[in-house]
Amino acid sequence: MVSAALHSNRGTTNGQCVVLGGERGDPEHIASATAQMGFAAAQAFDADQWFRTPCSSPAHVTPIIILDATEGIGDQDRHFARLVKFLDLTAPVVLVANMALIGYEQEQFELVQEEFKDVLSAANLVPSFFGPLPLGRPDLTPWWQDEGSLDTLRTSSVASTSPPLRMKVISSTNDDGGWIVTGATISGAIGTGDEILCSPSNQRSVVASVEETEKGVLQLTFDTPHFAEPGEVVSHQEEPPIETDVFRIKAIWYADQRTQGDRVLVETSYGRTQGAIQSVEQILSPSTFKTAHDTEIANGALVEIVVRVDKVIALDHIGNLPFAAGVSLLEPSEGSGLLATGYISMEGYADQRHLFASKAINTTPIEFSVGESDRSARNGHEGGVLWFTGLSGAGKSTLAVALEARLFEKGYQVFVLDGDNVRQGLTSNLGFSPDDRSENIRRVGEVAALFRQAGVIVISSFISPYRSDRDRARHAAYSSFHEVYIKADIETCIGRDPKGLYERALKGEIPEFTGISAPYEAPDAPELVVDTGAETIEACVEKLVNYVDRNFRV
């Protein structure tokens, strides 16, 4: 068994700390304090160094906030507390510097402590440790006793469990019919006989040999010929990374203005990929921490955005592997200008791996004696998929049922697949988590494709919030897939609320509700847009009927 060389900022599993306000304290006092807490010198960073380090993961570090005993609590201290909260850092350590200038007075220390604890409480934060500098000097501060929490912090600064295997492939070399895969280890351990998985290709193999050529670099061979593309991620089969082309980022912005649709180069722990800002979810002012009602991101802002990359990639996120969740956004052309650094979250989005990993084996499709053209000639129209997508309350089901009746009267073979109806049978075992939503649409997309092959016009009425899932439904249909965006803004849908779901979701009674606590990705280029907020139901149905007549009659 060969263990990974945990040598980089983003690869270590030992605790790391980032010092906020370090200019206020004596560097030797701060270094001594971090060492007493169990952080090695190489694991302590000042804020600017850390946050501007590409692919560092802020969420993996312990923030150490340095206060000034002579100044009390100021705007910068409040900013540090809000920054810790926004970036979901671990519970902060707070150290009070310049104690000598107040004669190591207990009363002044406790005033600063009480005031800053109120600041932290307002941000829903509780400090893991609060102490004076220099730390561990009872001769100077005999009144301070908190060794118990220091021992706890020291113990927790070292990871208690082994991280999963992550190895980034550098190259694959042909060796007399076999392949030698060379990779840089990031975490975990690997040995002969291990069952591994390469992502995002989803190739599986068993390790035949492992050789460490230099620190952190391994050469692997396998029991069967196995070629791995440079940039792929090797893991054990039971602990793989995520596969996706869309994810959230919480970040600190360092560049001039950018907005939705702008191209970026995305650098994760495992490589670089071109992509774009799909949506700007939140912009916070670094000085006031108030939400900016704007979609343009300015220098210094704290942002939450959704990024879509040009292809499915392997990555880890804050929820499954924090130390590898770091991400940087770079200028798309040269990749040198740093735009932002932060971390990846998959909140509201699904792991797409299961959509690419087929388990069907030993199957051979049969040839049918009746072709699609035969059915079209008999029916007088082509089969096809009208895929209605839109928010709950936009009018999808209402329009689907009305359109079905009109088309049936005109002689079309037509059928409605509706979200609530399908969940009574075909997808009754699925909930509303991102993964379940994705599987729900995968199944429906395949059923809709079968209807199309049978010559039927199928009206699929589903929120289908994820663009990638709708794209897969289009791929399953193969041809004659028409994405119809049933458009209504969130305010209109809340005003209608025919099922009372928005009211409950706004009260927090329904988790992961699309448009409120779960994302909805509007279509980029739908074949048809039907705006139920601007047109009557009758006008919308007429528009749909005319569209079908133009596109499906033969």
Do 118 and 33 reside in the same domain of the chain?
yes
Confidence class of residue 499 from pLDDT cuts 50, 70 and 90?
Answer: confident
Q: Is the pLDDT of residue 357 over 70?
A: no
Do 486 and 544 reside in the same domain of the chain?
yes
Among residues 508, 350, 516, the alpha carbon closest in space to that of 436 is found at 350
Report the C-alpha gap between 231 and 242 in whole angstroms.
Answer: 15
367 inside domain: no
129 inside domain: yes
pLDDT reported for residue 15: 62
Do 135 and 12 reside in the same domain of the chain?
yes
Range of the structural domain that residue 201 is part of: 166-236
pLDDT reported for residue 13: 37
Phi and psi, residue 377, nearest 5°: -65, -40
Confidence class of residue 479 from pLDDT cuts 50, 70 and 90?
Answer: confident
Q: Is the pLDDT of residue 173 over 50?
A: yes
Q: Is the pLDDT of residue 340 over 80?
A: yes
Per residue in 359-416, pLDDT (tens digit) is: 666 677 888 889 999 999 999 999 999 999 999 999 999 999 999 999 999 999 999 9
Do 95 and 15 reside in the same domain of the chain?
yes
Confidence class of residue 140 from pLDDT cuts 50, 70 and 90?
Answer: very high
Q: Letter for the amino acid at 296?
A: E
Residues labelled catalytic: 464
Do 54 and 88 reside in the same domain of the chain?
yes
Do 230 and 196 reside in the same domain of the chain?
yes
CB atoms within 10 A of CB 537: 12
Q: What token pair was written down for 547?
A: 């569209």
Per residue in 36-55, pLDDT (tens digit) is: 888 765 555 556 666 666 55
DSSP 70: T
What region does 88 belong to: left with phi over 0, alpha with psi -120 to 50, or beta? Answer: left
DSSP 478: -
Among residues 477, 253, 277, the alpha carbon closest in space to that of 382 is found at 477
Q: Is the pLDDT of residue 77 over 60?
A: yes
Residue 158 near residue 15 (C-beta atoms within 8 A): yes
Mean pLDDT of the 477-506 span: 93
pLDDT reported for residue 296: 85
Confidence class of residue 473 from pLDDT cuts 50, 70 and 90?
Answer: very high
Do 38 and 13 reside in the same domain of the chain?
yes
Among residues 247, 220, 259, 215, the alpha carbon closest in space to that of 236 is found at 220
1 inside domain: no
Report the C-alpha gap between 383 and 381 in whole angstroms.
Answer: 7
Mean pLDDT of the 314-336 span: 87
Report the C-alpha gap between 550 and 554 in whole angstroms.
Answer: 9
Do 389 and 536 reside in the same domain of the chain?
yes
425 inside domain: yes
Helix (H) or strand (E) holding 218: strand 217-222
Q: What token pair was written down for 6?
A: 């945990």
453 inside domain: yes
Do 225 and 145 reside in the same domain of the chain?
no
Report the C-alpha gap between 279 and 424 in whole angstroms.
Answer: 33
Do 193 and 273 reside in the same domain of the chain?
no
Burial per residue of 36-49, b for 16 or more beta-carbon CB atoms within 10 angstroms, e otherwise: ebbbeeebbbebee
Helix (H) or strand (E) holding 282: strand 271-284
Burial per residue of 267-293, b for 16 or more beta-carbon CB atoms within 10 angstroms, e otherwise: bbbbbbbebbbbbbeebbebeebeebe
Number of domains in the chain: 4
Q: Is the pLDDT of residue 10 over 60?
A: no
- Residue ending a domain, among 217, 236, 255, is 236
Sequence-distant (6+) residues with CB within 8 A of 377 are 554
- Residue ending a domain, among 156, 185, 203, is 156
Phi and psi, residue 381, nearest 5°: -155, 160
Q: What is the signed CA dihedral for 181, 185, 189, 190, rounded to 10 degrees? A: 0
Among residues 200, 305, 308, 199, the alpha carbon closest in space to that of 246 is found at 308
CA dist list (Å): 541 to 71, 211, 405: 68, 66, 10
CATH number, domain of 253, equals 2.40.30.10
Per cent of the chain over pLDDT 70 is 88
Report the C-alpha gap between 403 and 386 in whole angstroms.
Answer: 11
CATH number, domain of 434, equals 3.40.50.300
405 inside domain: yes
Do 16 and 71 reside in the same domain of the chain?
yes
Mean pLDDT of the 113-132 span: 93
362 inside domain: no
Do 229 and 250 reside in the same domain of the chain?
no
Per residue in 429-458, pLDDT (tens digit) is: 998 888 899 999 999 999 999 999 999 999
Q: What token pair was written down for 357?
A: 């990993």
- Residue ending a domain, among 294, 320, 355, is 355
Confidence class of residue 89 from pLDDT cuts 50, 70 and 90?
Answer: confident
92 inside domain: yes
Q: Is 229 helix (H, G, I), strand (E, B) or coil?
A: coil
